[in-house]
Structure 1
Amino acid sequence: MLKKQKIPNATLDRLPLYFKYFKQSEDNGIDRVSSREISEALDIDSATIRRDFSYFGELGRKGYGYNVHALVKFFSEQVQGTGMKNVILIGVGNLGSALLNYNFTKIHDKIKIAVAFDIDQHIIGQTINGVEVKDICELESVVQDIQAEVAILTVPGQVGVDLSSKLEALGIKGILNFTPEKLAVSNEVTVHNIDLSVEMQALLFYMKHNN
């Protein structure tokens, strides 16, 4: 059972990595793993892994390690929840199309992109990897109909800002933001920002200082 305490953001950021590792281990027929094996696979030191897991109670046993099947179920609920989450994607350009073609269910079997939106009449009406592209004018009715909770924004920065407050009003609880702008939402909406230019700068920085 989850302890009633604040979990550090750094630990929360690592939960999807742990879930992915245990899911892949399960798919490979592995029944149990040690913190050392997790450490080597994810390049996270064993002490950090044990500390992360301690926030969630006794997940393993000394001398036995961690039961893969039990941890898949546990982290699936922590990372994904127990029900299917419908995701919408707004902006079907090069990046948006690439995300539509990515098989999210391979790792997250309770997450699916249900529908995409765009303003380009040449794209609207197309189906990409089983996902229909609709006119952004239909956003309100579709979001309410499918009870979407998560949105992915792959649109120009100011467009994303303008859309974000509307998404919150429609009940969106989480946004994966690929724009470089800060979104206009309250603290009730969880935003995860992915600025590719910043990520590239970080990569170059690490390359320079690791050599």
Structure 2
Amino acid sequence: MKPEPPKIPQATTKRLPLYYRFLQSFHNAGHKRVSSQELSDAMKIDSATIRRDFSHFGALGKKGYGYDVANLLEFFRKTLDQDEAANVALIGVGSLGTAFLKYNFQKNHNTKIVVAFDTKAPVEGMMKSDIPVFNPSVMEEKLLEYGIELVICTVPSRSAQEVADRLAKTEITGILNFTPVRLNVPDTIRVHTIDLSVEVQTLIYLIRNKSIE
């Protein structure tokens, strides 16, 4: 996968796919240009934040005119490598993993789940939601066979580091970790952890302390 552009704040990087999604909506609605305030109203993000994010990439708009929707959409498409699909593997086909298989990303994004692994699956594989699911005993060879760059990990917490240790010996470069475990991996692998319980607790705290920005 293409590395993140240098000197771009992580918070800005996380918003780039959102900008791309909303610009697609404006483009599909026939808008030729859009202002930072219009994007702000649609995305519920402060317009100053949007202008600051865009400034990291140079002059994307014109004062008094706003942003050309088609040009901006093309810029973010290239920035996010939307033309180059990334093959994704799912490890752990429980309740959350099954939801991922049913949704899959290929309908709306440049990524798609092409193979999955679960301890209940046979070595020879089985089909689930049109995706082949194999036993983890053949994980390394199948990751190579399917050209996997990114892995979504939804295994039980007790198995997370063991899985990460095996992945560290493969060619994958990213793990989207849905376990609460902080994985130890080599610098060649980027880990993005989403702890759903922490996210819920954070939201509860924020809605009960509305004075916090």
RMSD: 2.1
1:130-209, aligned counterparts within 5 Å? 130-209=130-209
Aligned to 1:52: 53
Quick one: which amino acid aligns to residue 207 of structure 2? M
Given that residues 35 and 65 in structure 2 are in contact (C-alpha distance below 8 angstroms), is that contact kept between their aligned partners in structure 1? yes
Q: List runs of 5+ in structure 1 lacking aligned partners.
A: none
Residue 210 of structure 1: how far off its partner (Å): 2.2
Given that residues 164 and 183 in structure 2 are in contact (C-alpha distance below 8 angstroms), is that contact kept between their aligned partners in structure 1? yes
Given that residues 149 and 173 in structure 1 are in contact (C-alpha distance below 8 angstroms), is that contact kept between their aligned partners in structure 2? yes
Superposed CA deviations along residues 171-206 of structure 1, whole A, max 9, x for unmatched, are: 111111000001121222111111011011011111
- Counterpart-to-counterpart distance in 2, 1:42 and 1:95: 27
- Counterpart-to-counterpart distance in 1, 2:83 and 2:197: 34
Aligned to 1:120: 120
Quick one: which amino acid aligns to residue 197 of structure 2? S
Identity %: 45
- Counterpart-to-counterpart distance in 2, 1:181 and 1:168: 16
Q: Could you tell me the TM-score, scaled by structure 2's length?
A: 0.88
Alignment of 1:8 onto 2:12: no
Q: Which moved more, 1:41-50 or 1:176-185?
A: 41-50
Residue 67 of structure 1: how far off its partner (Å): 2.1
Relative to structure 1, is the Cα distance of residues 113 and 187 closer, same or farther in structure 2, using a 3 angstrom cutoff?
same
Aligned to 1:29: 30
- Counterpart-to-counterpart distance in 2, 1:29 and 1:124: 49
Quick one: which amino acid aligns to residue 184 of structure 1? N
Given that residues 121 and 133 in structure 2 are in contact (C-alpha distance below 8 angstroms), is that contact kept between their aligned partners in structure 1? no
Aligned to 2:105: 104
Given that residues 80 and 111 in structure 1 are in contact (C-alpha distance below 8 angstroms), is that contact kept between their aligned partners in structure 2? no
Relative to structure 1, is the Cα distance of residues 70 and 62 closer, same or farther in structure 2, using a 3 angstrom cutoff?
same
Q: List runs of 5+ in structure 2 lacking aligned partners.
A: none
Detail structure 1 runs of 4+ shifted over 4 Å in the superposition. none
Superposed CA deviations along residues 126-175 of structure 1, whole A, max 9, x for unmatched, are: 42332111111221111111221100000011312111132132111111
Residue 117 of structure 1: how far off its partner (Å): 0.6
